[in-house]
Structure 1
Amino acid sequence: MSNAITLIQFKGEARVDSRLLAKRLGNQHKAIMALIERYIAKFKRFGALPFQMEKPTAGSAGGRPERYALLNEDQSYYLLSLSRNIEIVVDLKADLIAATVPA
């Protein structure tokens, strides 16, 4: 697995897809979204918290659109701070610091 984190431009701001963070943490995205919803007011302290919907790709189970969050830098760090500092989390924090927006 590549250690690179691809950032997304959203309204002129670099964002991280919550599904990517869930995958890198080895968690189900559903659990990450539950954490975001549980602490949504705290996430919003660090800026707007846009949610998006995406239809599943062909071949995936089910046909329901998936809801995900686009987290800014501070929100991403806050999400990671809610996780224990096991090696995978520490590595992800370092990768997030090194992340760049594609040209």
Structure 2
Amino acid sequence: MNDLVFMHGLNEEPYTTDKIIAECSKNNLHSVKVIIYNHKKDFEDFGVLSFEMTKPLKGSKGGRPQKTYHLNEQQATLLITYLDNTPEVNQFKKNLVHEFYRMKQELTQRQINRAIEKPQRKSLTDAIKEWQQAPRHIYINMTQLLLKRATGLTAQQIKKQRHVKTALDGLTVKEQERYKQLENIAIGLVGLNKTWDEVKGVLLLA
């Protein structure tokens, strides 16, 4: 049931796509898109009918960029009601309900964790201001190191892959906990006036 529902940032509601619905319900993607087109006003009653333009797969001959619709929970539920009640569709309904519920719980916890982390981040920036051995560009470099250790990705990679404006808004709950742990270590080391190389060395082993 992985990758049925997606989430971009902390202020956007979870969504699925017409492609996911077509694949998992064993329906033709074109037919699903026709349903959305024919009932566009119905879907818009439950929010903006958003989409992204996706490029053809590499190696495919020709082809134009295609709309991939982003459907919120209500829109996805409505779309499924327009599909035939096959065993595949019925099973997918249950899977999708479960994933929307799980993702909404994840979103709530991420919002809480992000709010809790902000004062801690201020503690780090305050400590850096008093850090006698702070090198140039330390704020950016410290954040990059913490993000890399917590997620395996740079800030730019997180923004691009997870479609967020602020990298910290793109972390999962597990990554947030890891980031918070590393940030606490950094605050302690900076408070002890360790060198940047010493701080990096400890964080890379943490």
Structure-2-length-normalised TM-score: 0.45
Q: Which runs of 5+ in 2 are unaligned?
A: 107-171, 173-206
Deviating runs (4+, > 4 A) in structure 1? Answer: none
Counterpart in the other structure of 1:51 = 51
Describe how 1:79-94 pairs up with structure 2 within 5 A.
79-94=79-94
Q: Distance in 2 between matches of 1:6 and 1:24?
A: 9
Report the AA paired with residue 12 of structure 1: E
For the structure 1 residues 50 and 33, does the alpha-carbon distance in structure 2 shift closer, same or farther, using more than 3 Å as the test? same
Per mean C-alpha deviation after superposition, the further-off stretch among 4-13 and 21-30 is: 4-13
Larger RCO (CA under 8 A, 6+ residues apart): 1
Q: Distance in 1 between matches of 2:66 and 2:28?
A: 13
Structure-1-length-normalised TM-score: 0.86
Two-structure CA RMSD over aligned residues (Å): 1.8
Report the AA paired with residue 5 of structure 2: L
Counterpart in the other structure of 1:17 = 17
1:5 and 1:96 in contact (8 A); partners too: no
Q: Distance in 2 between matches of 1:92 and 1:26?
A: 9
Q: Distance in 1 between matches of 2:23 and 2:59?
A: 19
Counterpart in the other structure of 1:6 = 4
Higher-helix-fraction structure: 2
**Count of equivalent residues:** 101
Q: Percent sequence identity over matched residues?
A: 27
Report the AA paired with residue 71 of structure 1: L
Q: What are the superposed Cα offsets for residues 32-71 of structure 1, whole Å, 9 maximum, x if unpaired?
A: 1110000000011111110210111212343311111100
Q: Which runs of 5+ in 1 are unaligned?
A: none
Higher-strand-fraction structure: 1
Aligned-partner SS, 1:59: coil
Q: Distance in 2 between matches of 1:18 and 1:59?
A: 23
